[in-house]
Amino acid sequence: MTALTHLDQTGAAHMVDVGGKPVTARQAIATGRITMSAHAADAIRHGTALKGDVLAVARIAGIMAAKRTSDLIPLCHPLPLTRVRVDLAPDAEGVTVTATAATEGKTGVEMEALTAASVALLTIYDMAKAIDKAMVITGVRLLEKRGGKSGEWRAAKV
């Protein structure tokens, strides 16, 4: 089993020292889904939600969130992101979000991709809650990561 790198020998939390690690190209892709009533899904797909273009605002929120991950997750390193992409796929039952984050750095961008997906989903909830307060956010998870010492990793098909 791998040791928890954010704990020192005494069990105290600390920020991992990445100073000696090489700079490599890194990318991570995360996903999540929000399900909702047909009425809410229809309003989002057709751009008729009272708060405006839900998908456009969620995309920008996800991108902004990725850029602020180290402000939100206490032990994350601030990263110079080279790319953040948030794709939203609406359908009759909800929206699937896929977020991609990339950097040239000494540590991975998994948290940035996960944060982007999560905040995009929360933004959809916020903008459509007047239509459906019972929306459910599910399946937020890492799909794949590339770069660094551990190389490539892909989630098992669900």
* Residues forming the active site: 126
**Rounded distance between C-alpha atoms, residue 76 and residue 58, angstroms:** 23
Helices (H), the chain: 38-46, 54-67, 69-72, 110-128
Closest CA relative to residue 92, chosen from 42, 56, 31, 58 = 42
